[in-house]
C-alpha cells in the first residue's frame, strides 16, 4: 500500500478508537469553534466534507436551525457508518463522497465545512475548486488544518519516540499528513488556485489537549489513526510495544496522572 493510501485508510477498529479517544483529546474544541463560525454565516443548506465520526456534524446539528439542511460526507464508509450510529440531535443526511469529485450539482450549498480533512486531499487546489463549484454565490467555505507538529505536543512526542523504535524506517504519518499542511502562504495560494478570488482569512487558534493518563494520547495516536497502519506494516506484532513506548514518553514529560498538552490549528474562511 502506497503512503497516500495508508494515510487515507480509516478502517477496522480505527473509527471506534478515533471517536472514543481522539475526538475528546483534540477534535472537540475545534468542532465547537468551526460550528460557531458556520452558525454565524446563517446557511440554509450546508455540506460537511471529511465528517469522520461526526464530531462537527453533531455540533452543527445542535447550533443550526432545524430548517437548515445538513449533508455530512466522508471518503471512508466505515467512518460515516460509525458517525450515523452515534446520531445527531436532529436529522442530517449521511453520504459517502470523495472531496475530489463531489456528487452534487453546481451551486447547491450556502456553506461548506471541512474539519481537518484538507491535509488528506491528494490535490488541494482541485478539491477547493470542487468546493467552490458546489457553493452558491456569496457562500462561505470554512476549514481548519493542524499547525506544525512541534506546536502539537503529544503528536510530536509520539512521532519522536516511534522514530527511535523504528530507526531504519520511522513512521511519519503524523508529521507527513495531519501536520504536513501548515504553511499559511501555501494554504492561501492553494485556495486561490482553487478559484476563490477573495483573500482567505486565516486564524491561528491554540487549545489544550487533555487526558486522564498518558496512555490516552498514546493509544489514540498509535491505534486510532492511520499511524497504526504504518506501525503494523513494519511489524504487526509490535503495536502494543509501540503504544507502551509512546505512553512512557508522554509520562516522562507530562506526568503519570492527568496530562495536558498544547494543540494548535489554522482556521480558514473564504467566500465565493
pTM: 0.93
Domain residues for the domain of 252 are 3-271
Nearest to 103 by CA among 35, 55, 47: 47
What's the pLDDT at 7? Answer: 45
Give the three-state DSSP class for 255. Answer: coil
Q: How many other β-carbons are positioned within 10 Å of the β-carbon of residue 172?
A: 18
Residue 3 clears pLDDT 60, i.e. is over it: no
Taking 90 as the threshold, does the pLDDT of residue 9 lie above it?
no
Above 50 in pLDDT, residue 114?
yes
The separation between CA 135 and the C-alpha centre of its own chain, rounded to angstroms, equals 21
Q: Is the pLDDT of residue 6 over 80?
A: no
Would you place residue 16 in the very low, low, confident or very high pLDDT band (cuts 50, 70, 90)?
A: confident
Mean pLDDT across 207-221: 97
Look at residue 14 in the predicted model and tell me its pLDDT. Answer: 72
Residue 49 or 10, more confident = 49
Q: Rounded to 5 degrees, what angle do the CA atoms 31, 78, 127 make?
A: 60
pLDDT of residue 111: 98
Q: What is the pLDDT of residues 146-182, one digit of tens each?
A: 999 999 999 999 999 999 999 999 999 999 999 999 9
Report the Cα 203 to chain-centroid distance in Å.
Answer: 17
Please report, for the domain that includes residue 11, its CATH number.
3.40.50.150
Mean pLDDT, residues 46-58 taken together: 97
For 50-97, strand residue ranges (E) read: 69-74, 93-96
pLDDT band for 10, please (50, 70, 90 cuts). Answer: low
CA atoms in the 13 A half-sphere facing the CB of 72: 26
What is the pLDDT, as a whole number, of residue 2? 45
pLDDT (average), residues 243-266 = 98
Q: Which pLDDT score, from 0 to 100, does residue 12 have?
A: 61
Structural domains counted in the chain: 1
Can you tell me the mean pLDDT for 18-27?
92
Joined grid coordinates for residue 85: 450510529
Please identify which residue in the block is written with the cell numbers 506544525: 148
**End-to-end C-alpha distance for the chain, whole angstroms:** 37
Q: Residue 94: pLDDT above 60?
A: yes
Please list, in sequence order, all residues whose beta carbon lies within 8 angstroms of the beta carbon of residue 105, skipping any fewer than 6 positions away: 134
Amino acid at each position: 500500500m502506497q503512503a497516500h493510501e495508508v494515510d487515507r485508510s480509516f478502517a477496522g477498529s480505527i473509527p471506534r478508537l478515533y471517536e472514543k479517544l481522539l475526538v475528546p483529546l483534540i477534535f472537540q474544541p475545534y468542532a465547537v469553534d468551526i460550528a460557531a463560525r458556520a452558525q454565524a454565516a446563517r446557511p440554509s443548506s450546508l455540506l460537511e466534507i471529511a465528517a469522520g465520526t461526526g464530531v462537527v456534524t453533531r455540533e452543527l446539528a445542535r447550533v443550526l436551525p432545524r430548517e437548515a439542511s445538513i449533508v455530512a460526507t466522508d471518503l471512508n464508509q466505515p467512518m460515516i457508518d460509525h458517525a450515523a450510529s452515534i446520531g445527531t440531535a436532529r436529522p442530517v443526511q449521511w453520504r459517502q463522497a470523495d472531496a475530489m469529485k463531489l456528487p452534487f450539482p453546481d451551486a447547491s450549498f450556502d456553506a461548506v465545512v471541512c474539519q481537518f480533512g484538507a491535509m488528506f486531499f491528494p490535490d488541494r487546489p482541485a478539491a477547493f475548486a470542487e468546493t467552490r463549484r458546489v457553493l452558491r454565490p456569496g457562500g462561505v467555505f470554512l476549514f481548519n488544518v493542524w499547525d506544525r507538529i512541534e506546536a502539537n505536543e503529544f503528536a510530536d512526542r509520539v512521532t519522536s519516540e516511534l522514530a527511535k523504535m523504528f530507526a531504519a524506517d520511522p513512521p511519519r504519518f503524523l508529521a507527513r499528513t495531519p501536520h504536513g499542511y501548515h504553511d499559511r502562504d501555501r494554504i492561501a495560494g492553494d485556495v486561490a488556485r482553487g478559484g476563490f478570488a477573495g483573500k482567505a482569512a486565516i486564524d491561528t487558534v491554540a487549545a489544550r489537549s487533555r487526558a486522564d493518563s498518558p496512555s490516552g494520547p498514546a493509544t489514540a495516536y498509535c491505534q486510532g489513526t492511520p499511524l497504526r497502519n504504518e506501525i503494523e506494516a513494519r511489524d504487526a506484532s509490535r503495536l502494543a510495544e509501540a503504544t507502551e513506548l509512546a505512553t512512557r514518553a508522554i509520562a516522562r514529560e507530562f506526568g503519570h496522572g492527568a496530562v495536558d498538552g498544547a494543540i494548535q490549528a489554522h482556521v480558514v474562511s473564504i467566500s465565493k
